[in-house]
Amino acid sequence: MARIALITGATSGIGKATATAFADAGINLILCGRRQDRLDSLQEYLSTKVAVTTLNYDVRNKVEVFQAINTLPDEWKNIDILVNNAGNAHGLSPIQDGDVDDWDAMIDGNVQGLLYVSKAIIPGMVERQQGHIVNLSSVAGKYTYANGAVYCASKAAVEALSEGMRMDLTQHGIKITNIAPGAVETEFSLVRFKGDEARAQKVYEGFEPIQPEDVADAIVYAINTPARVTVADIVLYAKAQSAPTVIHRK
Ligand code: 8X3
């Protein structure tokens, strides 16, 4: 029987590339996001390959998360793979100049949102004694950089949650994979810099950044290993990158 995957933040970047790669691998999809028009067009595109349904909610909204996931029809309830991809950076400034609303958005989305969605899905996995959770962390969760304290903290939390989930859920047959990408060319910087395209473009200037499809490849690898293997952690850098803020630009 085809596996079912639920992907958060599925309408752009790494989420969209993962949805596309999963469809190519014959995995049925529950696409989650905040933008119904984007969910609809991705559903239409991927439905030619696999069964696709959509859920429109904001991971930061506890009520919406549980309502959406708990009301999935029976045929969609047995989720095999959860990809906790939704998350963003907001702002890049010294802690003393940080915007409290930006902090809320990062902690609520990257940490609380991941927890809410996981909480809604883990009990079913425990009941079935199987499942695979893929958490999208970042190299920012492994190394803190200047001006990024809160974003880095939110991703360090994801690192801890991946480890802790693995400790609690391994006995229930559930695998946990943590994926920590470096510089990926998505809407990430555009969101971080609040739509400032020139500033966002500069982030990827003079080197070849990772593409969302490269991260999707790593995720597909992780979810396709033999049952006896857990891919615990994958760190991906652009070839020109050796630490979050160390990039060799031409
Ligand atoms: C995105 C990678 O290095 O820009 O999570 O923080 S980095």
Nearest to 106 by CA among 75, 144, 60: 60
**Cα torsion for 14, 230, 234, 2, to the nearest 10°?**
-20
Which of 14, 111, 135, 138 to probe ligand 1 with, by most ligand atoms within 8 A of CB? 138
The predicted structure's pLDDT at residue 1: 87
Whether the CB of 182 sits within 6 Å of ligand 1: yes
- Residue 215 and residue 236 in contact, taking contact as beta carbons nearer than 8 Å: yes
- Print pLDDT tens along the chain (250 aa): 899 999 999 999 999 999 999 999 999 999 999 999 999 999 999 999 999 999 999 999 999 999 999 999 999 999 999 999 999 999 999 999 999 999 999 999 999 999 999 999 999 999 999 999 999 999 999 999 999 999 999 999 999 999 999 999 999 999 999 999 999 999 999 999 999 999 999 999 999 999 999 999 999 999 999 999 999 999 999 999 999 999 999 9
Which residues participate in catalysis according to the annotation? 151
* Rounded Cα gap, residues 234 and 225, in angstroms: 14
- Residue 29 and residue 18 in contact, taking contact as beta carbons nearer than 8 Å: no
Q: Closest ligand 1 atom to the C-alpha of 155?
A: 5
E-strand ranges in 100-220 read 131-136, 174-181
**Tokens of residue 213, six digits:** 């499809």
Q: What residue's CA is closest to ligand 1, atom 2?
A: 182
CATH number at residue 203: 3.40.50.720
Residues of the domain holding 168: 4-247
How many structural domains does the chain have? Answer: 1
Query: DSSP label at 108?
Result: I
Whether the CB of 13 sits within 6 Å of ligand 1: no
* Rounded Cα gap, residues 171 and 194, in angstroms: 43
pLDDT tens digits, residue range 93-128? 999 999 999 999 999 999 999 999 999 999 999 999
* Rounded Cα gap, residues 152 and 98, in angstroms: 13
Whether the CB of 139 sits within 6 Å of ligand 1: yes
Q: What residue's CA is closest to ligand 1, atom 4?
A: 183
The predicted structure's pLDDT at residue 86: 97
- Residue 232 and residue 178 in contact, taking contact as beta carbons nearer than 8 Å: yes
**Tokens of residue 50, six digits:** 């696999």
Q: Closest ligand 1 atom to the C-alpha of 151?
A: 6
* Rounded Cα gap, residues 154 and 142, in angstroms: 11
